[in-house]
Structure 1
Amino acid sequence: MYHYTAIVTCLAVALHFFFATQVARARIRYGVKLPAIMGDPDFERIYRIQMNTLEWMPIFLPSLWLFAIYVGDAAAAAVGAIWVIGRIVYFIGYREAVAKRTPGFAIQAISAIILWVGAFGGAVWRVIHG
């Protein structure tokens, strides 16, 4: 069973839900009416946080689960938790200024790469070694 990976998955989904609510709040605060996605720069940064997270989810989630299968549940959850922390750091930095998004982006990108490499390597290892 992959209990730790499931918990991290739920945390990632909850974080994305939180980001979506922040966009809704920002629409009201900055007067950006649907379907507009541009207007106030403060709104646009919050919107990009949510959209960038959405863009990374199809990279992160399959890699997380395949890593759990081929490498291990606890290791996948640990790296996945670092990804979630990276997204939080990204949120905190990017909502203040574009230039402050880099540390969080780097944390989550490196975490996702580790998960993907581990998943791919584990799959190839199993093919070669049965």
Structure 2
Amino acid sequence: MMTFPLTLLGTLAALAVYVWASIPVGQARGKFGVKAPSVTGPPEFERAFRAHQNTMEQLVLFLPLVWIVATLFGDLWGGIYAAAWVVGRIAYVIGYIKDPEKRGAGFLISGLPSLAALVGAIVSVVIDLVR
């Protein structure tokens, strides 16, 4: 029996987004002849590379936090947070690859829920500790 099915589904979706974001990097490496381990090249390659790397960097916050949210507030809230994060990261990657100036909406869609989740979790734990 799965205790946190929505959070689990959201976690798997987030990992799938990370894998999906790596595809444009490989395509750009081939198209522009950027051989590994190089991480610099034409702007088109660098945008794809940074969108993927930024997603990986955000996973470091998201993965533990989504499970903390699910544990403290329930599976539904974990799933809602995960869904917002996934939608935001997809928008972020697409926007960044097209034009770095277009990454803002995706960043906000995933970043604001992360901030709210972090603050909410801290407040919840502190309240529980002082009781």
- TM bin, normalised by shorter chain, reads over 0.9
- Name the TM-score, length of structure 1 as normaliser: 0.93
Give a deviation string over 1:32-52, Cα, whole Å, max 9, x none.
111111111001000001000
Q: Which amino acid aligns with 1:107?
A: I
- Name the TM-score, length of structure 2 as normaliser: 0.93
- Distance in 1 separating the partners of 2:86 and 2:48: 17
- Distance in 1 separating the partners of 2:23 and 2:121: 32
Determine if contact 1:23/1:43 at 8 Å carries over to the other structure: yes
User: What count of residue pairs does the alignment treat as equivalent?
Assistant: 129
Determine if contact 1:16/1:53 at 8 Å carries over to the other structure: yes
Determine if contact 1:87/1:108 at 8 Å carries over to the other structure: yes
Alpha-carbon distance, 1:86 to partner: 0.4
Alpha-carbon distance, 1:23 to partner: 1.1
Aligned twin of 2:119 = 117
Q: Does 1:92 align with 2:94?
A: yes
1:35 to 34, 37, 42: 37
Task: Give the fraction of aligned pairs with identical amino acids, expressed as a percent.
Answer: 36
Alpha-carbon distance, 1:17 to partner: 0.8
Greater displacement, 21-30 / 64-73: 21-30
**CA-based RMSD:** 1.1
- Distance in 2 separating the partners of 1:26 and 1:127: 50
1:1-130 matched pairs, under 5 angstroms: 1-129=3-131
Q: Which amino acid aligns with 2:35?
A: K
Alpha-carbon distance, 1:126 to partner: 2.4
Residue segments in structure 1 that go unaligned for 5+ positions in a row: none
- Distance in 2 separating the partners of 1:77 and 1:114: 14
Which 4+ residue blocks in structure 1 deviate beyond 4 angstroms?
none
- Distance in 2 separating the partners of 1:31 and 1:109: 33
Determine if contact 1:60/1:115 at 8 Å carries over to the other structure: no
DSSP 3-state at the match of 1:36: coil
Alpha-carbon distance, 1:18 to partner: 1.0
